[in-house]
Structure 1
Amino acid sequence: MTSTRYRSPAVRRLAEVVDRVAPRDPERWDGRERVPGAGGVPVRVSQARARQLRMVVGMFDRAVGRPEVAGGSVLRAPARLFEAETLDGFWSLAVAGELRHRAEDRGRELPLASQRVVLDCVALLGAVAAPGVPLYLPVLPQPVLKPTVTPRSLEALYRGMVDLAGAGPLSRDGTALSYEDRARLLAMVAILLDAAPRSGELAAMRLDDLAVDEVAVGVRRRQQKAPANRAEEIATLARVHPETARSVLLGAVERVSEATRQRVLAAITELGPAPEVEWYELREGSRVAVRRWLEVREGLVAGIGGGRSGLWVTLQSSKAGPAGVTLRPQGLRQGFARGVTALNWVMAGSYGWEPLPTTVEQIRRSTSVVPLEEPPER
Structure 2
Amino acid sequence: MHLGRRDLHRAHASLAARAGDGLSPERLRQYAAVLGELERAAAAGDLPADPRAPLTADLVTAFLEHAEAGRYRASTAATGPTSPSTNRVRIGCLNGLSEQAGHPYDLEHRTPAPPLKPGTTAREAADLREYLRSQNRRSLLDDGHARILAAIGICLDTGGRSGELAAIRLADLGPGLRTVRLRPNPQRLAGRGPGPGEPIGLYAPTRAALVRYLPVREGLVAAMRAWYALHPDQDVDPNHDFLFVSLRPNHTGGRPAVEGGTPLRPEGVPLHPQGLRRALDRAALRINAGRPKARPLPTMEQLRRITDGAPGPR
Instruction: Give me the TM-score of the superposition, normalised by structure 1.
Output: 0.63
Of residues 4, 22, 25, the one that matches 2:15 is: 22
Q: As a proportion of its length, which structure holds more strand?
A: 1
Out of 32, 43, 49, which is 1:73 matched to? 49
Is there any run of 5+ residues in structure 2 with no aligned partner, and where?
226-237, 252-263
Per the TM alignment, residue 152 of structure 1 is displaced from its structure 2 partner at its CA by 1.7
Structure 1, residues 34-66: CA drift from partner, whole Å, max 9, x if none? xxxxxxxxxx76244444333322222211254
Structure that is richer in helix per residue: 1
Q: Are the equivalent residues in 2 in contact too, given 1:186–1:289 (CA < 8 A)?
A: yes
10, 30, 36: which one pairs with 1:58?
36
Among 103, 109, 120, the alignment partner of 2:92 is 120
Q: Which residue of structure 2 aligns with residue 211 of structure 1?
A: 174
Give the Cα–Cα distance (whole angstroms) in 2 for the partners of residues 300 and 126 of structure 1. Answer: 41
Question: What is the one-letter code of the residue matched to 2:49?
Answer: S
What letter is aligned with 1:307? N
Q: Measure the CA separation in 2 of the matches of 1:145 and 1:153.
A: 17
Counterpart selection for 1:146 from 117, 139, 144: 117
Structure with max Cα Rg: 1
Checking the alignment, whether the CA contact within 8 Å between 1:222 and 1:277 is kept in structure 2 is no
How far has the Cα of 1:214 moved from its partner?
Answer: 1.1
Does the 8 A contact of 2:164 with 2:185 survive in 1? no
Counterpart of 1:314 in structure 2 is 246
1:342 aligns with 2:274: no
- 2:259 alignment partner in structure 1: none
Which amino acid counterpart does residue 22 of structure 1 have in structure 2? L
C-alpha RMSD over aligned residues: 3.4
| CA displacement, residues 267-303 of structure 1 (integer Å, 9 cap, x when unaligned) | xxxxxxx964333211222211112211222233334
1:74–1:185: structure 2 CA closer, same or farther, 3 Å change rule?
A: closer
CA distance in 2, matches of 1:141, 1:203: 28
Counterpart contact for 2:162–2:300, Cα < 8 Å: yes
Letter in 2 for 1:295: P
Match of 1:277 in 2: 196
Helix, strand or coil: the match of 2:296? coil
- Tell me the SS of whatever aligns to 1:57: helix
Q: Which amino acid aligns with 1:97?
A: G
Q: Which moved more, 1:186-195 or 1:94-103?
A: 94-103
Distance in 2 (alpha carbons) for counterparts of 1:154 and 1:120: 34
Tell me, which stretches of 5 or more residues in structure 1 are unaligned? 1-8, 33-43, 170-177, 226-273, 371-378
CA–CA distance in structure 2, aligned partners of residues 134 and 324 of structure 1: 41
Name the % identity. 32
Q: Output the TM-score relative to the length of structure 2.
A: 0.74
Map 1:121-200 to 2 at 5 A.
121-129=93-101, 131=103, 137-169=108-140, 178-200=141-163
Deviations 1:147-194 (A, max 9, x none): 33333221111123223212234xxxxxxxx43333212111110110
CA distance in 2, matches of 1:110, 1:99: 10
Paired residue total? 278
The 2-side partners of 1:160 and 1:324 are apart by 27
Alignment of 1:184-333 (within 5 A): 184-224=147-187, 276-278=195-197, 279-305=199-225, 307-319=239-251, 321-333=265-277
Distance change in 2, residues 1:286/1:129 (3 Å): closer
